[in-house]
Structure 1
Amino acid sequence: MDNISDYYIWQRRIHHGIRYQKVAVPFPESVEIGLEFNAALERKEMLDQSLLTNAVMLELCDFAKTVTKSEKYFLFEMLDFNFDLGVDMDDDMQYYEYATRVHNKIKQLKEQIKVKPRRWKEAFPLPDLSVITALTGSEAPERYYPKRNKIADSSVLTNGSKKSQTSEQETSESSGATSSVFTVNIKNGVRLKRAGDVYPFCRNLGVTLAVQPDETPKQKLDPNLLTSGVMLELLDFSRVLCGTHTQIVSELVKHNFGQELNRLVFRMQYNKLIERKYACLTAEDRDSFRKEPFKVQIINKQEQKHRKRKSMDSDYQETGKTNNSQ
């Protein structure tokens, strides 16, 4: 079984992180200063800290928020890549409705069978596509669904020429179900450690976790083969891809500016930053606020030693809150 690389994980985060950007160039303030959104790529020269303005920090936070709220999309992406679902991917409403129903169903089912391993082999009940088609058809009442940005160019968020040889090797290997243990909150967002088959249901059925954008679609599996065990494993890996808000922002700041955020302090800073953003009543106030340098509260080595465990525990708690809110 192949490993999933850091590079792959960050690329999928970038793919979904631009979902709700409204222009062709996503996160323009960050792009303008040359910020790299793939924390697994080699960056030889750090950006000057003065370039980390409130505007750039708000974009990083917006990116992280979108990624951590994309659990259903990560899940559906893998599901559609592996199984012949019949969903019209160009129909945003149908796509959203189907993904939402699948996501809600597996979260509900997880609570019912997580300590009943025998039920993991049961067939997973997929949504009735005919019902969804009727709900989302042209004659159906208008329903809410978030519109995807289909013109945004994600390539501006990463510079492929800076990719290290190691990342290239990892990318070429990042296909198939993985046999690694994934632990969020580690350097570059994920730590890989071999410890037997973590996702045996996916492995046994031949389900691929790594979905490469340019990869030729393989022969899709019959949806009737889908089990609750496979869905629970896909849900688990979706949460690895999501990461946590603070972890993603912290890794990107460290990768681009060489500064390690004090994560506990940053959570308070973030709340104040949002309050100040909405307190700006005039265009002049907003412009002044956005250009203001963001004051990074860093951790010195002694603090880092004592707070490392506490910070990791806090990130795990944040992961739980994010998952429960989706």
Structure 2
Amino acid sequence: MTLPYEAVAARRTHDVVSADGTRIHVEEFGRPDGPAVVLAHGWTCSILFWAPVVRLLSSDFRVIAYDQRGHGRSAAPATRRGYGTGVLADDLEAVLEAVVPEDERAVLVGHSMGGMTIMAASGRAAVSRRTAAVLLASTGSGRLLGATEVLPPRLLSRWLRRALHRQLLVSRLPLGPVTRLSRAAFAYGVLGQRPTREQAAFTARIVHACKARQRGAWGRVLSVLDLDAEIAALTAPTAVLVGTHDKLTPKVHARGMAQALPNCVGLTELPGLGHMTPIEDPAAVESVIRSLAAAHMVPPVAGDAADGAQGRTGDPHLEEKSA
């Protein structure tokens, strides 16, 4: 029996070189001739985070997922300048140019920092040309510290809660091995009202794998996030999804983004769920992706997709690896 929280074997793996030379690890799943879905994970996560969703989409879609720089098997930035929303946009642009032919379009799905990546890239012509529709899941465009609810608002002043939330984001303390305590802490902080033991263990496994230095550096970026102008420029049909018990990016962010988006095509609030919606209810995330694809994509002809795949193999910025 295959469990939903086991890794999915990639059909193809390769590396893409971003604008500043950082190597970005990419994996492809599902049908090589299917319509493309590109998945961008959030802070402290990796491609593995998407396993439950990938498993549901692979029968009908060409699913592409990549490790954000400093996460998973992608390279870490060499300098402080390698951290920021601009370089996240560079990475997404490099991935799309490598895996989505210019005459095709994909559904882009971003969770948390992955959604922020898509917002940051909203003004890039190479990204816009390859975007059919967008799903922003459990994310926000700015002012994260002011709305975060990991620490109870009733027990602390707003100033102290903001300061402690910032410290949680920027901390470089090593997490060490997964323990019962860390599983419980993640279940409280990022999962919903009734997480399963498997969901808590899977979440802890993913987050513990992120190195402390990269975790803290990206936390600093998130602590000063301001993408309000970029979300206003995101003209592709965009759906927003959030768990009603999300403590990291509460539903106030989702509702604000739905109002700010020029072409919002739906707001989904999942009762009782937390920040890790693709882990907590992958079928709900899958359903929104399929709806976006049905409404806004034309599936590529099989022969054209095969020709495009052959052309991509010869991309000088792409390093092929055995799957």
TM-score relative to the length of structure 2: 0.25
Larger Rg: 1
Query: Which one has a larger percent helix, Structure 1 or Structure 2?
Result: 1
Q: Which structure has the higher relative contact order (CA within 8 Å, separation 6+)?
A: 1
TM-score relative to the length of structure 1: 0.25
